[in-house]
Structure 1
Amino acid sequence: MTQKATVVDTYQTTPRVRAFRLRVPDYTFEYEPGQHTTIRFKSGDKKVVRPYTPTNLPGSDELALTIKRYDDGLASSYMHQKRPGDTVQIGPIEGALTLADPTRDVAFLASGTGLTPMMAMLRQYLREGSGHVHLILGEKREETLIHRETLNELAANHPSLDVTFVLSDPNWEWTGRIGYVQEHLEELFGTDSERDYYVCGVPPMVVQTKDRLAELGVSDERIYSEGWEDSVVAGE
């Protein structure tokens, strides 16, 4: 089922990323945190359908989306032109990346806008979970870290949450971790094979992170991702 949603707010979060609040009046969104909707529109004769993941929890008439603009991205350019009062067509909410067991310790491993499904799952875990959660976000530079303030505030208010940022191309003032998420797993988690690991980002990051976790002794049943990334990387 597709629906018409109204943009009620939008604001810039980083130089290339905007946040959007979409509302469907008199409707309640029900979904598993981590699942995605789609933005649907026509570009000439072409029908465009692109997935985006709500960062908010279900149970209201709104979806919060975080969208990075790409120079050659039809959907991201289309959305970045939207302003409050505009409408967009959205598809049903679905997807395989959801929280499996809130009673277990978990790690959310993300790069870039791969953070978006993690935000909703993190909020669910902080509400329902009973263990420890560690979120690691990889980005290129400090100014491109999305939801940084929100994550720091959540960590300050929840002793069970640790947040780590990893930058691949930081400026000289950066004192945090440098490199890529997958390069820090052993130091941060050792051989913790009992924790559940959720991975989302560009396909090479997802594949390399899953491979590194396997090298550290984490079984496949403890690693969760969307599942399509391996075939993308294999086809490169």
Structure 2
Amino acid sequence: MAQWLSGTVTANTHWTDTLFSLRVQTEAFDFIAGQFVRLALDTTDGRVQRAYSLLNSPGDTEQEFLISTVADGLLTPLLHQLKPGDTVQVSQPASGFFILDEVPDGKNLWLISTGTGIGPYLSMLGTDTPWQRFSSIVLLHSVRFAAELAYQPLISQFQQRYGTQLHYQPIVTREAYSGALQQRIPELISSGQLQQACGQSLTTESQVLLCGNPQMITETKAVLENLGLKKNLRRDPGQITVEQYWK
């Protein structure tokens, strides 16, 4: 049975009107980068809760979450309004198998995300594991508008620390933005434009993580399978590992 920690909000950063990051101080707890916990608030209608991936890396003193507000949602509009000093409940223990321990070795690692799906990748990149296991890493983040390209300073820190081992590739689908591609992920892979832009191959020697919109995952997985890659299972290791997010 899940247990709950009482957390104190230390920051609520609004990237856009509907995209925000919540930092929460809790008692220290262990987790593996890529895992999730549940956030909960008590309301007059009872407790409302939802799962969110931890964006911070293990060992950090505060927990961080990248959240998209759902207008008619029961929880996200309330989380959006939280201020430093407010209380939010955090579930224990952390859960999930979208972790690098479940991913086989490969020539390169593709971290492909839409929207808030970049969160667990930032957690992973803050650990030693991916840098020690993969000679090249591609961090791909697809959003609608450039303002949604969150955590640019953190990504720049990774680039400065690890140099050419990391290629960050933004995709902005609804407006032109310098350095960003503009088409949808499956189309970019099918045409080879994504591989060319990133300077990396997508073959059976690659490992690909997909996190975000379920439609993106379904369509991208099909394109990757056409290239000869297959879903990664414990009993049958492959190259495609997925985590689905609902907006």
Normalised to the residue count of structure 1, the TM-score between the two structures is: 0.86
Whether the 8 Å contact between 1:110 and 1:136 is mirrored in structure 2 is: yes
> Which consecutive residues of structure 1, in runs of 5 or more, have no partner in the other structure?
none
Q: Cα distance 1:140–1:29, how it changes in 2: closer, same or farther (>3 A)?
A: same
2:148 maps to a residue whose letter is T
1:64 counterpart residue number: 64
1:19 counterpart residue number: 21
SS in 2 for 1:166: strand
Whether the 8 Å contact between 1:111 and 1:181 is mirrored in structure 2 is: no
2:136 counterpart residue number: 132
| 2:35 aligned with 1:35 | yes
Q: 1:107 aligns with which of 100, 110, 120?
A: 110
Whether the 8 Å contact between 1:29 and 1:62 is mirrored in structure 2 is: no
Q: Cα distance 1:64–1:127, how it changes in 2: closer, same or farther (>3 A)?
A: farther
2:142 maps to a residue whose letter is G
Cα root mean square deviation, aligned = 2.2
1:74 maps to a residue whose letter is L
Distance 2:152 2:112 in 1: 15
> Which consecutive residues of structure 2, in runs of 5 or more, have no partner in the other structure?
232-237
1:4 positional shift: 0.4
1:13 positional shift: 2.4
Distance 2:178 2:45 in 1: 47
SS in 1 for 2:15: strand
2:172 counterpart residue number: 167
2:206 counterpart residue number: 195
Q: 1:182 aligns with which of 164, 186, 189?
A: 186
Q: Cα distance 1:130–1:205, how it changes in 2: closer, same or farther (>3 A)?
A: closer
Whether the 8 Å contact between 2:103 and 2:241 is mirrored in structure 1 is: no
Q: Cα distance 1:128–1:7, how it changes in 2: closer, same or farther (>3 A)?
A: farther
Q: How does 1:2-13 map to 2 (within 5 A)?
A: 2-13=4-15
Distance 2:104 2:28 in 1: 24
Distance 1:185 1:155 in 2: 23
Q: How does 1:44-123 map to 2 (within 5 A)?
A: 44-92=44-92, 93-99=94-100, 100-101=102-103, 104=106, 105-123=108-126
Distance 1:192 1:14 in 2: 36
2:147 counterpart residue number: 143
Normalised to the residue count of structure 2, the TM-score between the two structures is: 0.83
Whether the 8 Å contact between 1:10 and 1:20 is mirrored in structure 2 is: yes
Distance 1:208 1:13 in 2: 28
Count residues with an aligned counterpart: 226
| 2:219 aligned with 1:205 | no
